[in-house]
Each structure stands twice: as C-alpha cells, then as structure tokens.
Amino acid sequence: MEEKKYYILLYYCYTTIENPELFREEHHQLCLDLNLLGRIIVAGEGLNGTVSGLKADCQKYMDIVKADPRFETLEFKIDESDEHAFQKLNVRAKDEIVNSDFETVDPNKKTGIHLEPAEFKKLKDQEDVVLVDMRSNYEHSIGKFKGAITLDINNLRNLPEKMHELEEFKNKKVITYCTGGIKCEKASAFLLEKGFENVYQLHGGIIKYGIEEGGEDFEGKCYVFDNRVAVDVNKVNPKVISKCYVCGTISDHMVNCADTVCNRHTAICESCMEKMEGCCSEECKNSPTKREWNMDGYYPKELNGYNPYKDAKRLRKAESQS
C-alpha cells in the first residue's frame, strides 16, 4: 500500500494569549510559510485548530508550536491522508476558542478529571457511570458511544437549558466526551459549577480513543469538520446506527442536502441520493436554490477569489518597518 503523504492535525490548548490579534497574524503567516490549510481560532483563552499539510510541513508546525512554553501541554491528534483535507486557510481571532458564553468557567482553574483512553475504557461500563455526549445534534446522530446520553443542542450555548435532563445523574460518575476534547473542558467545568461532584472527561476525545484503544463501543462514525465529513473510529466492534433521512434504512452516508438554503447535515443512502438528486426532501429537490449535486454530498464553500495572503499584509508591512 502506498504511503499517505499528508497529515491532518486536530488540537487545542487553553492558555493565556496576551495579544490574540497579533498572535493570529503571526500564526497565520506561519501556516502560509508551511503550506498548511485548515481552520484555526485564536482567543485570549487559547488556541483551537485543525489543519492539513504534507507530513514534513506538519511536523515543522508541531515542533514550532510545542516549542512555545504557552503550548507545552498541547497534544496533537494525528491522522494520515492522501491529500489536503481543506480548501483554504482561515485563522481567526475570537472571544472564545469554543463558543459557550459560560462567563464564570475557566478550564485552567477547574474542570472535570481527565481520563486517558485506557482509563475511560475501564470505567465507561461501570454501573455508577453515565456517558454524556457534548456534541451537536448532527454530530451524535451519525455516531455515539453505546448507551450514552445525547442532548438536543446545536452548540454548547444550549447546554444550560438542557441541564434538567441531567439532574437525575447527579449522584453518578458523569463522563463527558466530544470529538477532540475541547468542548468537554468547559462542559465538565460547567457541570461542576452546577453541583455535579463526580465529573470526568475523555481526554483527547473520540479521536484519541479511536487511535489508542481502537474505538471499542463507539457506534457509528465520528463527524469531523473537514472534507472527510465523517470517519470510522471503531476497529473492534463497529456498528452503523444512523438512518437515511429520506427512507429510514440504515445508512452512515453523511451528506449535506444539495439545496443551498437547506444544507441539512444528515445521512442519506446512495439510492435516495440518486432518486432525490442529493436532496433531503421533494421540496429541496424542486428548489430553485438547488446546486449541482454529487454522490459525496460535500459542497465546500466557494472561494470567490479568496486570498490567504491578504491577512498577512499588515504583518509583513510591520516587519519591513522594524
């Protein structure tokens, strides 16, 4: 088998960044220099990203980031690929590295007990343990841990209004999990703040558990935020749990509806993809905003002349004047 030439990196780190906008510019330029593509969020509370690039370029990136004392605890989740997993580079400065609006929560001060994948595997099936999925609806619809509690949420901002659904588990050991671990840093801290005493989190998330422990008992696929859309993580006892949105048959073919207005994230089997021309309903199929569809059901945003060097101009000008 031919060796794959690219890495896909997933990572985050809660740490203090004094000047997020300046760091964003410098980090943006670093990624340009290394020919990396992907999405990175910078905030005063830390760094969150997923990028792809040639293996040598990704290794340089990891070495440079880890050499910064602020990111010495950062862990990279690494997957291999035949090509880039993104169309462009987007490095943004925001108020938070994961949206929550939990103003009193600081993962650097208080969070749930981190469980390494091997520890999680031993603990997850005990009688006094409950697993809680902290991801969005469309993510856990295609895959989740066996027996896990899922919440009807679009993002972490919705967690407070769903807390009543978790009240019955206050006397249990609650283990939160998400894709890479970042949401659980805040979610587990929020649970502690609301009176839950025995709170844990899967360190490194589903992705790390799949890499280190084979993904046992993760049913379905794991939704990821790149061209792959969803990936297999369970090499031990895989099971498909999602159903075609159109006909209800078992399917893990995760797509976007071909109608640009709808753009629903859901599973649609290949038979229905052909019959419905990539759409999730007759209404979408007949919509004037339906795009040219494909069987992959993945439609990257139009670049519209996007120039990744545009955001680097100010930094280059400052360097030339210094």
- Two tokens, residue 169: 């588990």
Strands 149-150 and 222-223 turn out to be unpaired
Task: Say if residues 175 and 202 touch (Cβ distance below 8 Å).
Answer: yes
Active-site residue, from 13, 31, 178, 279? 178
Q: Has 279 been annotated as catalytic?
A: no
How far is residue 68's CA from residue 113's CA, in Å, rounded to a whole number?
25
List phi, psi (to 5°) of 196.
-75, 135
- Structure-token pair, residue 59: 């290794």
Angle of helix 20-33 relative to helix 55-67, nearest 10 degrees, comes to 150
DSSP state letters, 19-68: -HHHHHHHHHHHHHHTT-EEEEEEETTEEEEEEEEEHHHHHHHHHHHHHS
Phi/psi of residue 23, nearest 5 degrees: -60, -40
Q: Which residues are known to be catalytic?
A: 178
